[in-house]
Amino acid sequence: ARPRRRARLRRHRAARPGGAVPRPPAAGAAPGPRRRSGHADGLRRDGPLIGDFDPERSADAVRNLRSQLSVIAELGGSGVTTPAAWGMFSRRLPPFEPPRPPAGDRQVLLAALATLGEHARAEGVTLFLEPLNRYEDHMVNRLDEAVALCAAVGLPSVRVAADTFHMNIEEDDVHAALRAAAPYLGHVQVSDTNRHQPGAGHLDWAALVRTLRDLGYPGWLALECRLRGEPVQALQQAVTVLRHAESRRVAA
C-alpha cells in the first residue's frame, strides 16, 4: 500500500485542478480562517478543468480530480474544490457566444460531476463546485446555478463552494443567495470585495458570519485572497477582522 500511496501523491503534485479542503471543525467551533491541507495553490491556471470545450481535456480534468480526491482522503481532508472552467471563455468579450450551447455545457458538467461524485463518495470525501464570476467563467457564476447542478447529480458527495469575491460580483443579495443554497453549501472561501484579505475592502464581515451562523454552516472560512501590505500583517488583519466579526455576532 505504501508505494501506491507515494505514486498517488506524485500524480497529485503533477496535476492539481482543484483545491484541497480540510476536515470541518468540531461542532460548535467558530467559523474562522484555516490553512488548507494538501497544497496551497489549488488551481493550475494552465491545466484542464471539467467544463473544457475539448472532450479530451475535460476527461483529463476528471482523471486528475479523481486522483486528487483519493489523495485528499488519504491525507484526512474533507474534499476538493473545482470550478467548471477558468479563463476559457467570457460572454463579455468577442465573440460573445461560446462554441458550445448551454445544454451542452450542462451535459458535460453533469457527466463529470456524477463520475467524480461517485468516486468522492467511495473515498469518503466531497467534491465542491465553485461558481466563478462572469469574467472568469461563462457556465457557473452564481450559487443557484451550482445548486441546480448538485441537485441534478443527486449525490451528497457533490456540494457547493461559495466564494465571497465572486458572490460580491454576481449575487444580487449575498445573504439571500447563501440562505437559498444552504442545503448544498459545503465550503466557504473568503476574500474582500477587491480580492484582498478580509478588512481590505468593504464587505460586511459581521453580517456574513451572522448569516452563516444562522444557517448552521459547520465548515471553515478558508482564506483565498491576495495580500495587500506586508504578508504577515495582512494575515493578522484577516484573522482579526474575522474574529471581530464573530464576537460582534455573539454580542448581537
**CATH code assigned at 126:** 3.20.20.150
- Spot the catalytic one: 123, 130, 170, 246: 130
Give the pLDDT confidence of 134-165 residue by residue, as tens digits: 999 999 999 999 999 999 999 999 999 999 99
Q: 159: which strand partners?
A: 128
User: How many other CB atoms are found less than 10 A from the CB of residue 111?
Assistant: 15
Q: What is the mean pLDDT of residues 175-183?
A: 98
Band (8; pLDDT cuts 50, 70, 90): very low
Question: End-to-end distance of the chain based on CA atoms, in angstroms?
Answer: 52
User: How, if at all, do strands 126-129 and 158-163 pair?
Assistant: parallel
130 labelled catalytic: yes
Distance CA 208, CA 98 (A): 34
Band (78; pLDDT cuts 50, 70, 90): very high
Q: Which helix (H) or strand (E) holds 75?
A: helix 55-75
- Spot the catalytic one: 170, 171, 224, 246: 224
| pLDDT at res. 35 | 37
Domain that holds residue 217: 2-251
Distance CA 185, CA 147 (A): 8
123 labelled catalytic: no
User: How many other CB atoms are found less than 10 A from the CB of residue 164?
Assistant: 24
Domain count, the chain: 1
Distance CA 57, CA 63 (A): 10
Q: Which helix (H) or strand (E) holds 187?
A: strand 185-190
As a whole number of Å, the CA-based R_g of the chain is 18
pTM: 0.84
